């Protein structure tokens, strides 16, 4: 057995297995045997009950699947705009992680299939983590991926630059990026070629057509 399901074995047994060092907790629900070196595919199975089939896993949970580390405690999934459904779990129980739904590029871009889920690229996961996930967790995780070379800064820059100005969380991302980018540039271990120059600031103005649409929508809402 590669995964130990807390719901299946019961909380008392699960806690005893963890206390005795037999298993190592992965998510709130699943644990690995202590002698197993989990791969991205195995970690994908841990997250699978929280990822609906019509969505793509991204953000910090996506980075956890790709690279391991500490479980972020929340699952970010990206799907078609307006198609936010609850994740169907056929084994209900108390050990659940919070799932947040968004619409964004991860759903439209080609995704990688790992086990039963679709997952965004590591660079897209970084961009979405900075846009939507808790910054106190996202910033050190993204910084570590850059500092170790797990995700090249150039690829994160490319994803951040192509992000949707009109989507929820963009202003939050742009504000953080102005401060965070110089730090990431200083710890980037990948070869530098000068392409990062002047990428600290991101566009903050919505297109004129979008501003008119927002004004119209607000008038209709009243």
Same domain for 64 and 31?
A: no
Cα four-point dihedral sign 147, 149, 151, 157:
positive
Q: Residue 141: its pLDDT value, please?
A: 96
pTM of the full predicted structure?
A: 0.80
Q: Name the residue range of residue 143's domain.
A: 39-221
Same domain for 48 and 26?
A: no
Q: Residue 41: its pLDDT value, please?
A: 92
Same domain for 9 and 73?
A: no
Among 41-50, 159-168, 194-203, whose mean pLDDT is lowest?
194-203
Residue 190 has pLDDT above 60, yes or no: yes
For 56-127, strand residue ranges (E) read: 56-58, 74-78, 98-102, 112-114, 117-119
215 phi/psi in degrees, rounded to 5: -60, -45
**For 50-107, how does the pLDDT look when each residue is reduced to its tens digit (9 = 90+)?**
898 889 999 999 999 999 999 998 899 998 876 555 444 444 455 567 888 888 888 8
For the chain, strand residue ranges (E) read: 4-5, 23-25, 30-33, 56-58, 74-78, 98-102, 112-114, 117-119
User: Is residue 110 packed enough to be buried (19+ CB in 10 Å), middle (13-18) or exposed (0-12)?
Assistant: exposed
CA 45/CA 56 separation, integer angstroms:
14
In the chain, the number of structural domains is 2
Same domain for 105 and 31?
A: no
Same domain for 62 and 167?
A: yes
Mean pLDDT over each residue of the chain, to the nearest integer: 81
Q: Residue 106: its pLDDT value, please?
A: 87
Same domain for 199 and 113?
A: yes
Same domain for 124 and 183?
A: yes
Q: Residue 92: its pLDDT value, please?
A: 46
**For 173-185, how does the pLDDT look when each residue is reduced to its tens digit (9 = 90+)?**
999 999 999 999 9
């Amino acid at each position: 057995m590669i995964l130990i399901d807390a719901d299946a074995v019961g909380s008392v047994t699960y806690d005893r297995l963890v206390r005795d060092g037999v298993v190592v907790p992965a998510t709130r629900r699943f644990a690995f045997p202590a002698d197993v070196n989990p791969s991205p595919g195995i970690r994908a199975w841990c997250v699978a009950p929280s990822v609906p089939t019509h969505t793509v896993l991204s953000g910090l949970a996506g980075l956890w699947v790709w690279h391991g580390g500490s479980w972020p405690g929340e699952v970010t999934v990206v799907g078609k705009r307006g198609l936010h459904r609850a994740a169907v779990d056929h084994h209900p129980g108390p050990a659940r992680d919070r799932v947040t739904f968004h619409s964004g590029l991860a759903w439209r871009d080609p995704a990688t299939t790992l086990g039963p889920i679709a997952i965004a690229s590591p660079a897209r996961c970084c961009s979405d983590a900075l846009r939507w996930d808790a910054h106190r967790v996202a910033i050190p995780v993204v910084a570590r991926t850059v500092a170790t070379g797990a995700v090249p800064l150039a690829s994160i820059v490319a994803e951040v630059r192509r992000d949707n100005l009109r989507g929820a969380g963009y202003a939050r991302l742009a504000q953080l990026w102005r401060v965070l980018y110089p730090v990431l540039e200083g710890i980037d271990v990948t070869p530098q070629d000068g392409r990062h120059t002047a990428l600290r600031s991101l566009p903050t103005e919505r297109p004129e057509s979008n501003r008119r649409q927002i004004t119209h929508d607000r008038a209709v809402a009243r």
